[in-house]
Amino acid sequence: MAVDEPAKGAKTDGTDFVAKIWDFLTSLKLVVILLLILSALSIAGTVIEQNKPVQEYYRFYQPGTVALFSKLGLFDMYHSWWFVACLSLLALNITACTMDRYRGIMAAMRKKNLILDEKLSKSLQNLTTIRYVLPPDAVEKKMVELAGSGFSGKHVVTVAEDGARHYFFEKGKYSRLAFFMTHVSILLIFLGALVGSFFGYKAYTNIFEGETVSQVEARTGKIQKLNFQVKCNTFHAEFYASGMPMDYRSDLSILQNGKEVIRKTIRVNDPLTFEGVTFYQSSYGSQPDQVSIEVVNRDGSVKGAVTAPFGQTVAIPGVPDKVEAADYQEHFHMPDGSEGGRAIGVNIHPANGGPTGLWLLVDQPEYDQRRGSAYYFRVKELKLKKYTGLQVNKDPGEILVWLGSILLIAGIMIAFFMSHKKLWISLRTDNKGKSELTIGGTANKNREAFSKEMEIMIQSLKEVS
């Protein structure tokens, strides 16, 4: 470990404790255990379906199991305190390990071995000695040209005590920092998720065609006021001949102080963003706008007609009762299990006493006759209004997540495909004025490729004359 250990005698209880925690945080054991736990928990979360309505769990599990799982947070486990605690510990572990290695690598990068001595040469590959009849200055010029072409950047020349000249070349020095990029990027992604969950929200809203909203309800139940208004001009759903959905689109306008600022048709995969708030096409539906009902006597003669705006109670002509269109179903389930088509749920409010509810079928107008009362209702016309269902997001942490992602990919690429290559050459003169050149190198990755590169260079050096 590259931590600066304090001198043994000077250790106080405090630093000892800190050192112990540090050791724990940077230990391989912690990573392995955390990764195993996180994987096991994640697998459990894919087997137990998450965030379903409670009733659905009762179909699969015993009531006792449902109660236990729900108490343990297994139905929303990715947000449970223990899962978040594991992730936090992982973040701490990554931070500690990164700091630890950062110090080590920076120290190693600073401490350069500039002299090709016997000890160093033992650790090098392609170590070769070449003798020339030329004087060293002539060799040097050609050598720097040859070596310099493969190693961009400046080389360092050191003159040793014995008069030999040592040349140090390197390339891809900073590729050693790739580990720093990959680990910091993951912390950045965590941070982005954290910022999003504290300062952002995810909400949902339905807007009827022609209507406007200025606030949305977040998943947490909190009402989020918008600094502007959103209007749904129109909504369209298109289907293929097979019935498969083809396109959902909403024509939206953003209004500020009553003026339209932006107008855009959003689709799935093409949302609208305004002032950091994004609107996504998520669902759609329709609700009755108003219902025209005929009131029919038992003998079949029409008593009168009522037009009831949805949700409002209106008087029925010639009868003391009042009627309210309160509910709507697109696919009504008949008592015998068959499909009844569009149906309107109606409440009849008599002058005295509580209301009675009944269903009117739009496509079977005489259906209510079977009720056998003094008069029955017949649906004459149903006007529907469509609404678009929008997911509304504000996530100031998103940008950090994308920055982290890009940094992660770049870091991994550098880590795998760039290597730190180092090359040493020493040049000395014997007393007859002839030169002796020694060359050797090392790379931290893909040594075979580097070895081939060096072989070619050595061959060219041998041909210098």
Residues that bind other proteins (CB under 8 A): 28, 31-32, 35, 38-39, 42-43, 45-47, 49-50, 78, 193, 202, 240, 242, 244-248, 267-271, 278, 280-282, 391-393, 398, 401-402, 405, 408-409, 412-413, 416
**Residue placing its CB nearer to other proteins in the complex, 202 or 380:** 202
One-letter identity of residue 401: V
**Structural contact between residues 184 and 91, judged by C-beta atoms closer than 8 angstroms:** no
**Residue placing its CB nearer to other proteins in the complex, 279 or 387:** 279
**Shortest Å, Cβ 69 to other proteins:** 16
**Shortest Å, Cβ 72 to other proteins:** 17
Residue with tokens 């179909």: 59
**Residue placing its CB nearer to other proteins in the complex, 35 or 315:** 35
Residue with tokens 């001198």: 7
Q: Which residues contact 250 (CB under 8 A, 6 or more apart)?
A: 207, 232, 234, 235, 265, 266, 281, 388, 390
Q: Which residues contact 125 (CB under 8 A, 6 or more apart)?
A: 440, 441, 442, 447, 450, 451, 454
**Residue placing its CB nearer to other proteins in the complex, 203 or 360:** 203
**Residue placing its CB nearer to other proteins in the complex, 68 or 449:** 449
**Shortest Å, Cβ 179 to other proteins:** 9
**Shortest Å, Cβ 222 to other proteins:** 17
Which is it for the CA torsion 278, 279, 281, 282, positive or negative? positive
344: exposed, middle or buried (Cβ count in 10 Å: 0-12, 13-18, 19+): buried
The bridge status of strand 272-274 relative to strand 277-297 is antiparallel
Give the DSSP letter of residue 352.
Answer: S
**Residue placing its CB nearer to other proteins in the complex, 260 or 270:** 270
**Residue placing its CB nearer to other proteins in the complex, 313 or 444:** 444
Closest CA to 40 of 82, 81, 70, 71: 82
**Shortest Å, Cβ 353 to other proteins:** 48
**Shortest Å, Cβ 405 to other proteins:** 4
**Bridge partners, 15 (sequence order):** none
**Shortest Å, Cβ 39 to other proteins:** 5
**Shortest Å, Cβ 263 to other proteins:** 20
**Residue placing its CB nearer to other proteins in the complex, 171 or 445:** 445
Give the DSSP letter of residue 80.
Answer: S
**Residue placing its CB nearer to other proteins in the complex, 167 or 248:** 248
**Shortest Å, Cβ 139 to other proteins:** 37
- Element containing residue 99 per DSSP (H, E): helix 81-110
Closest CA to 377 of 288, 296, 307: 296
**Structural contact between residues 389 and 380, judged by C-beta atoms closer than 8 angstroms:** no
Q: Could you give the count of Cα atoms lying within 13 Å of 185 in the half-sphere of its Cβ?
A: 17
**Shortest Å, Cβ 32 to other proteins:** 8
Distance CA 452, CA 296 (A): 98
Phi, psi of 72 (to 5 degrees): -75, -10
Closest CA to 237 of 268, 206, 203: 268
**Residue placing its CB nearer to other proteins in the complex, 164 or 203:** 203
**Bridge partners, 290 (sequence order):** 309, 383
